[in-house]
Structure 1
Amino acid sequence: MSQDPADLPPLPDDAAAFLEERIEAEHGYLSWLNTGVESVERGRIVLTIPYDDKLTNSDGETIHGGVAATLIDTAGGLVQRTAFPDPLDGGVATVNLNVNYLRPATGDLRAEAEVVRAGGSIGVSDMRVTSTANGETREVVVGQGSFRLFRED
């Protein structure tokens, strides 16, 4: 069954709160990265990771590309949950992830992900990451992912 997020009622408050708690406090790796949830709505999610020296390459300035890839993967999968009638039921697993690096990230990261399609068993998301440093925001990574949807509805 394909589900268009626009056809669903707004997300329950507890769904957004649950995602924030899981990412910001309970998930070991994402918590260590200091990942934050900026916004969650049907079909769209925004995640952030602030700049930290521990995330940089050996040059001590640019953020390792794996951090941006993690952010893209996480945002792309989580946004698919927003297409479930109840985002707390079921699960999501990455099937394919395409990450295109446009330029080095040198500041805070912000990922936006949107549902392209949420089918019966596979969903596709578009993602982009920007980096803000010294008051300037630049797009640093774009990607698309396909995700296996484990629906309980």
Structure 2
Amino acid sequence: MIHPDARQWIDQVLAGSPVARRIGLRFTTVEPDRVVATLPFDPDNVTVDDIVHGGVIATLIDIAGAAASASGIGDSVAGGATATMSIAYLAPAHACDLAAEAVVVQRGRTQTVADIAVRDPRGRAIATGIVTSRIFLREA
């Protein structure tokens, strides 16, 4: 079970952000150090023909990585921010919903690293990413 502060951060700050609401991002799984975020297909989010824009996929990766990081916080944390993000685009996402599974692979006191896999409904790998998040601690 995750800390109530973590759940609030994920629901209000991440899923509740204007960009997450605009692209329709939702969390279907939230557990300690692992989240799954879904992104419904929207023709307004394409680049060429029916291919989901890489920037939209990057946003999905960024928010999923941040949520995985937040899923392990406690009441000593004041917030966080993406420090670095690396993405490999593996295949075009043609007119389909996407799911991003983000798993924390390293957690420190002030930094986490999450590995994110983006897949289409058939399970085909669309992109993979690594998000490093900086954790801001409350002042004592």
TM-score normalized by the length of structure 1: 0.80
1 CA distance for matches of 2:132 and 2:65? 8
Aligned residue number for residue 79 of structure 1: 68
Counterparts in 2 of 1:43 and 1:101: CA distance versus 1, 3 Å: same
Q: What SS is found at the alignment partner of 1:31?
A: helix
Quick one: percent identity of the two aligned structures?
A: 32
C-alpha deviation, 1:142, in angstroms: 0.6
Give yes or no for contact 1:20–1:36 (8 Å, CA) kept in 2.
no
Q: CA RMSD in A?
A: 2.0
Aligned residue number for residue 4 of structure 1: none
Count of residues paired in the alignment: 138
C-alpha deviation, 1:90, in angstroms: 1.9
Give yes or no for contact 1:23–1:31 (8 Å, CA) kept in 2.
no
Aligned residue number for residue 145 of structure 1: 131
Give yes or no for contact 2:102–2:114 (8 Å, CA) kept in 1.
yes
Counterparts in 2 of 1:77 and 1:37: CA distance versus 1, 3 Å: same
C-alpha deviation, 1:21, in angstroms: 4.5
| Higher gyration radius (CA) | 1
Counterparts in 2 of 1:94 and 1:15: CA distance versus 1, 3 Å: closer
Aligned residue number for residue 33 of structure 2: 43
2:87 pairs with one of 91, 95, 99: 99
Q: Which amino acid aligns with 1:41?
A: E
Runs of 4 or more, structure 1, over 2 Å off, are 12-24
C-alpha deviation, 1:22, in angstroms: 4.2
Give yes or no for contact 2:9–2:70 (8 Å, CA) kept in 1.
no
1 CA distance for matches of 2:78 and 2:3? 16
Aligned residue number for residue 102 of structure 2: 113
- In structure 2, runs of 5+ residues without a counterpart are none
- In structure 1, runs of 5+ residues without a counterpart are 1-9
2 CA distance for matches of 1:21 and 1:121? 21
Aligned residue number for residue 48 of structure 2: 58
Q: What SS is found at the alignment partner of 1:137?
A: coil
Q: Which amino acid aligns with 1:16?
A: R
